[in-house]
Amino acid sequence: MAGQHVIRSRRERDAPVASIRYLDGTTRQVPLQQMRLQDFVESGPWRRVRAVHGMAHFSGDYASATTGGHVVYESRLELARLLLADFDPCVVGIYAQPLRMVARVDGKVRSHVPDFLLVTDSGLVRVVNVKPASRLENPRVAFALAWPGSLLEGLGWEYEVWSGAEPSLVENVRFLAAYRHRGVVPEADVERAWREVVDGEELAVAERRLAGDGEPEEARPALMALLWSGRLTTDLAAGPLSGECVLRRCG
């Protein structure tokens, strides 16, 4: 019996563990297999990296429309993925550096902090690691990203290693992000544009008609706000936003 107790303790000791840091400064450890989405309520980033003059990487705080607060990022590539998550109407939760995973893999204790945890309106959880495609060719990097994915997928969560998207899509979403917060464009203007925009018309045509006797550019902010919110859509990956973009109504 004593021998069985020792074996069981070793197994428990070697079981993968998740550490989560909370906004009040406390840290909680949970067995990874018992981790649930509700464990992240009132949690914060595992580490805090501030931009310092001369640093090689690019870090900062992004004011998210999805969360209503700031989300940290550590590179321009991470910021691009963060923008796309904030733009996705299905994403209702974004956590940066959500946890620290520790597990024994191939006989060695390893740790890993994922870049983002995304929650969708259907309850799906997706953990995202952001890494340039060139780095993925390194076997050590590929291995360091593979084992966390295997463990997280065992929870029924999705796992994504993201290396970029169509440049036009990212740049267009970056432009539309200027209109992401309510109040940037008066709600009355947005609702008027929504009532009057015609499905299938080009952006330039919609601007001219909505502007009436004014300059077409005066109607643009309301249309941009509708594109950010997803009430209007257009092919953002086809090229830079222009007057020739075809608008489609959603909902």
Tens of pLDDT, residue by residue over 125-160, are 999 999 999 999 999 999 999 999 999 999 999 999
* Strand positions, DSSP E, 106-217: 108-112, 116-120, 125-130, 158-162
Q: How many domains does one find in the chain?
A: 2
Nearest Cα neighbor of 126 from 148, 103, 100 is 148
Percent of the chain with pLDDT strictly greater than 90? 88
| Last-in-domain residue among 137, 162, 187 | 162
* Residue 157 and residue 57 share a domain: yes
31, 132: one domain: yes
Mean pLDDT of 84-95: 97
**Are 127 and 146 contacting, i.e. CB atoms less than 8 angstroms apart?**
no
Q: Are residues 125 and 187 in the same domain?
A: no
Residues 157 and 222 in one domain: no
- The single residue listed with the structure tokens 């706000």 is 225
pLDDT in tens, 178-220: 999 999 999 999 999 999 999 999 999 999 999 999 999 999 9
Residue 245 near residue 227 (C-beta atoms within 8 A): no
For the cut 90, the answer to whether the pLDDT of residue 14 exceeds it is no
Q: Does position 57 have pLDDT exceeding 90, yes or no?
A: no
Let me know whether 125 and 204 are in one domain: no
Q: Which residues lie closer than 8 Å to 81 by C-beta, 6 or more apart?
A: 115, 116, 128, 130, 162
- Residue after which a domain boundary falls, among 107, 134, 162: 162
Q: Are residues 149 and 185 in the same domain?
A: no
pLDDT, average across residues 63-80: 96
Q: Are 248 and 231 in contact (CB under 8 A)?
A: no
By three-state DSSP, how is residue 231 classified? coil
Owning domain of residue 226:
167-249
pLDDT at 53: 55
Q: Residue 31: which pLDDT band, with cuts at 50, 70 and 90?
A: very high
Q: Are residues 81 and 199 in the same domain?
A: no
Q: Which one of 115, 131, 162 terminates a domain?
A: 162
Same domain assignment for residues 128 and 222: no
pLDDT at residue 251 is higher than 80: no
Task: Read off the CATH number of the domain in which 149 is found.
Answer: 3.40.1350.10
**pLDDT in the model for residue 1:** 44
